[in-house]
Amino acid sequence: MGRIAAAGFESRTYLIEHMDIQQYMTEVGQRARAASRAMARADTAVKNRALSLIAVAIRRDADLLRAANQVDLETARANGLAPAMLDRLTLSEQAIATMIAGLEQIVALPDPIGEISNMKYRPTGIQVGQMRVPLGVIGIIYEARPNVTVDAAGLCIKSGNATILRGGSEAHHCNQALARLVQEGLAGAGLPQDAVQVVDTTDRAAVGALITMPQYVDVIVPRGGKGLIERLIKEATVPMIKHLDGICHVYIDDQADLDKAVKIAFNAKCHRYGTCNTMETLLVARAVAPQVLPQLAKLYQGKEVELRADDEARAILAGYPHLAAASEEDWRTEYLAAILAVKVVADVDEAIAHINTYSSQHTDSIVTENHSRAMRFLREVDSASVMINASTRFADGFEFGLGAEIGISNDKLHARGPVGLEGLTSLKYVVFGHGEVRE
């Protein structure tokens, strides 16, 4: 049945792969731009209705979705895809339930669009403030994770944007099946189906086209590994909301509560290795290093974490079974693995200097009970998320209370840190007058 269900999704693909990709993407862009006008006007109730209908359709067609996913999985296995990638590609019953729950969460979030703030009278008599409006068309480029298709579509619908989704080619059948359900939900609510388009070709030229048509696409949100993002940065003429990597630090100050310090430094490294908010370098103040490092080593040893330490830390850690000497390269490395760089520093000044030199400006945390040092760290560390006495793992849209997350930005312009619905909007100035003119 999987093959039969999937066959229907292939006919259009077949046609497109025999069209010119540039022409196809131009048409996709034009349709998105047209749909974005209707989305910007859509009421909250209408957008919520579309999201609910999509959730209903996904629940109804869960078996069909899993069948389409099977086709993708079989091809991927035949092509020798790595087990970790296969895992991400798999649309389990649980994954489908999570997608549905995600849509319901987005329904429950307040609508950011149309909010008017800061209306103030000016001496001329006019009243000036700002209105939150959609960005327009969002392009999203991601790897073979079908759940992103629905999460991203949901966030773009709620924020009044049209979106063009380009998922990894390994998830092509499943993404096309999801696209049909999303478009069914849009149509059911009276919204244009073109508000969410899933690019219907596995040709890589489609990505090249998507990132170079600023006339149709207002911003690109790339989700994927550093290699993908680096390539997109080189070629894109459309602005991006992005982060390249997460080289996150925890600094344990000599006035830290060491119990908190040990808990945080263990959690920040070992809660999950593959996430961008995982600690990659631990900085410890000289005065407490002999106390705190051995305690931490016991915990890390239980997880077989390799420690790459500077000379001072190595002397303290002597005898640790997975110990290596750190080179400068280690300060610049995002391991995404059970490896941690460790460095002893004199004080908060040296910690801030090290972080502002080597951090990827993603997330950095200080552990201290000293108020002045905490406040200096907060102000002077130039990263998207700066924390006091908390694990870097909290740097996440859900944990920060954004409700959902389209991605994380390490850039300073527009959105910085976890990006939720607000990051997909812009503020325009609005003026209420009574016939005023400039004198």
| Three-class secondary structure of residue 116 per DSSP | strand
Helix axes 172-188, 62-78, angle to 10 degrees: 160
- Give the phi and the psi of residue 208 in degrees, each rounded to 5: -55, -40
Site string for its own copies, 212-251 (x = CB under 8 A): ------xx-------------------x------------
Let me know how long the chain is.
439
What is the rounded CA–CA span in Å between residue 179 and residue 21?
19
- Give the phi and the psi of residue 301 in degrees, each rounded to 5: -60, -40
Is 279 in contact with 307 (CB distance < 8 Å)? no
Is residue 90 at the binding interface for its own copies, with CB under 8 A as the rule? no
Which of the stretches 23-31, 167-175, 247-255, 393-401 binds its own copies when contact is defined by CB under 8 A?
Answer: 393-401
Is residue 413 at the binding interface for its own copies, with CB under 8 A as the rule? yes
Is 218 in contact with 137 (CB distance < 8 Å)? yes
Sheet with 248-252, side-by-side order of all strands? 323-325, 306-309, 339-345, 279-285, 248-252, 363-367
Which of the stretches 44-52, 198-206, 325-333, 409-417 binds its own copies when contact is defined by CB under 8 A?
Answer: 409-417
- Give the phi and the psi of residue 113 in degrees, each rounded to 5: -80, 140
Site string for its own copies, 13-42 (x = CB under 8 A): ------------------------x--xx-
What is the rounded CA–CA span in Å between residue 100 and residue 293?
44
Size of the site for its own copies (CB under 8 A): 66
Is residue 73 at the binding interface for its own copies, with CB under 8 A as the rule? no
Site string for its own copies, 349-388 (x = CB under 8 A): -------x--------x-x----------xxx-xxxxxxx
For its own copies, the binding residue among 13, 34, 114, 273 (CB under 8 A) is: 114
Which of the stretches 23-31, 119-127, 171-179, 194-202 binds its own copies when contact is defined by CB under 8 A?
Answer: 119-127
* Smallest distance from its own copies to CB 399, Å: 7
Which of the stretches 90-98, 175-183, 261-269, 316-324 binds its own copies when contact is defined by CB under 8 A?
Answer: 261-269
Task: Provide CB contacts within 8 A for 408, sequence distance 6+.
Answer: 243, 246, 276, 277, 362, 384, 395, 397, 417, 418, 419
* Smallest distance from its own copies to CB 137, Å: 11
* Smallest distance from its own copies to CB 412, Å: 4
Sheet with 196-198, side-by-side order of all strands? 196-198, 162-166, 137-142, 219-223
In the complex with its own copies, the residue whose CB is nearer, 9 or 216, is: 216
What is the rounded CA–CA span in Å between residue 50 and residue 250?
43
In the complex with its own copies, the residue whose CB is nearer, 178 or 279, is: 279
How many other CB atoms are found less than 10 A from the CB of residue 349? 12
Interface ranges with its own copies (CB under 8 A): 37, 40-41, 114, 120, 122, 124, 126, 128, 131, 133, 135-136, 218-219, 239, 257, 259-260, 263-264, 266-268, 271, 356, 365, 367, 378-380, 382-391, 393-395, 399-401, 412-414, 416-418, 426-438
